[in-house]
Structure 1
């Protein structure tokens, strides 16, 4: 588990933020001059466009990032800013990634409310779906549509409920920061593994 970054209130407000990037802020923004959320910064690094839903970031990971960005304190938000570079290219093709990530957040909420039957049902549903989709084809259109319908329906509701539980804890900043670090690291590992595997499959055979 990664060690959460501890905000340092006596440090300058832009420590760790490269020159030229907007000031970290909550919610969405109309222009970089007004500041930027973590996903808007990731989008600028990836494509130069200013949006909180860049194509290079998995939509479930982007939703978690937006929620964490808008919830944590200013100091924790600044400490999370180096994640923008990894978020810019964190889009696992594995169909199990989305429900697995939601299940991970739900499980974190269950540690806060272990007696919650609702959270238990949500966790079971997410992990069951992730197991079913593990190694499933990723190129077909109809399964992708099914994944979007799941995410915009029960998946999104499960994530929101779990986050509502987590933000009630006294150490919400630390819990959310750890969750986001874990999620980004896992997404990058999965994305890099897929890229490496694809490169190996397409590499020409050495001549004899």
Structure 2
């Protein structure tokens, strides 16, 4: 019997599973909600979506689990890519406090990517500028906040800032008004998985091979 997805962390499969615990099982890893097979920030987004969606909607994220097995990279840009994607989704719909975090996140992610990719520090891609301009109150607050100073270290950003941006943005989507809450959360996870498949192409290829094998076969391979 396969465990049923539910909120939170589970000691073992008999007690149920969250999205990432199921991924650890499919990967043939030790049972964990922080498996090595998935990029850390992608896994954090998946855990949050798993916990925010209602029980009736959680089955809709099950088909995404094989996609995250092996979906990881050492590219230092990955955390900014993921955090920025989630912030873009949250900015138009999140409550004001979460909008502000999303707006700050968009600017900081762009600065980090500019630094890593050799662009001018103040450069901003049109799609990011348009998203910010569509929410002028959050944009202006973000620029005032950032004038106080910020770390320019990509390593520090990946370790500290990116998780805050991503998790606050997921929470903002969960707190948005309207009846489409679960639809938006499922769509958010789908978009982030697709982004990672596009940006981590070799990992995505490995993921498709791994997901084709059974858990028992993967355990034998690891042995």
Indicate conservation of the 8 Å contact 1:103/1:126, yes or no. yes
CA distance in 2 between partners of 1:195 and 1:77 (Å)? 23
Where relative contact order (Cα < 8 A, 6+ residues apart) is larger, the structure is: 2
Q: Deviations over 1:13-64 (max 9, x none)?
A: xxxxxxx421111111001000000100001111242101111100000000
What does residue 38 of structure 1 align with?
Answer: 19
SS of 1:77's equivalent in the other structure is helix
Instruction: For residue 160 of structure 1, report the CA deviation from its aligned partner.
Output: 2.4
- Tell me if 1:79 matches 2:60: yes
- Tell me if 1:128 matches 2:135: no
Indicate conservation of the 8 Å contact 2:19/2:46, yes or no. yes
* Residue among 192, 199, 204 paired with 2:201: 192
- Tell me if 1:168 matches 2:175: yes
SS of 2:91's equivalent in the other structure is helix
CA distance in 2 between partners of 1:172 and 1:111 (Å)? 14
What does residue 188 of structure 2 align with?
Answer: 179
Indicate conservation of the 8 Å contact 1:80/1:177, yes or no. yes
What does residue 10 of structure 1 align with?
Answer: none
Instruction: Extract unaligned runs of 5+ from structure 2.
Output: 119-152, 206-223
Indicate conservation of the 8 Å contact 1:23/1:35, yes or no. yes
RMSD, matched Cα: 2.4
Instruction: For residue 189 of structure 1, report the CA deviation from its aligned partner.
Output: 3.1
Instruction: For residue 148 of structure 1, report the CA deviation from its aligned partner.
Output: 5.6
Instruction: Extract unaligned runs of 5+ from structure 1.
Output: 1-19, 136-145, 197-208
Q: TM-score, normalised by structure 1?
A: 0.71
CA distance in 1 between partners of 2:29 and 2:19 (Å)? 14
Q: How does 1:18-97 map to 2 (within 5 A)?
A: 20-97=1-78
- Tell me if 1:156 matches 2:163: yes
SS of 2:92's equivalent in the other structure is helix
SS of 1:162's equivalent in the other structure is helix
SS of 2:7's equivalent in the other structure is coil
Instruction: For residue 88 of structure 1, report the CA deviation from its aligned partner.
Output: 1.1
CA distance in 2 between partners of 1:180 and 1:157 (Å)? 17
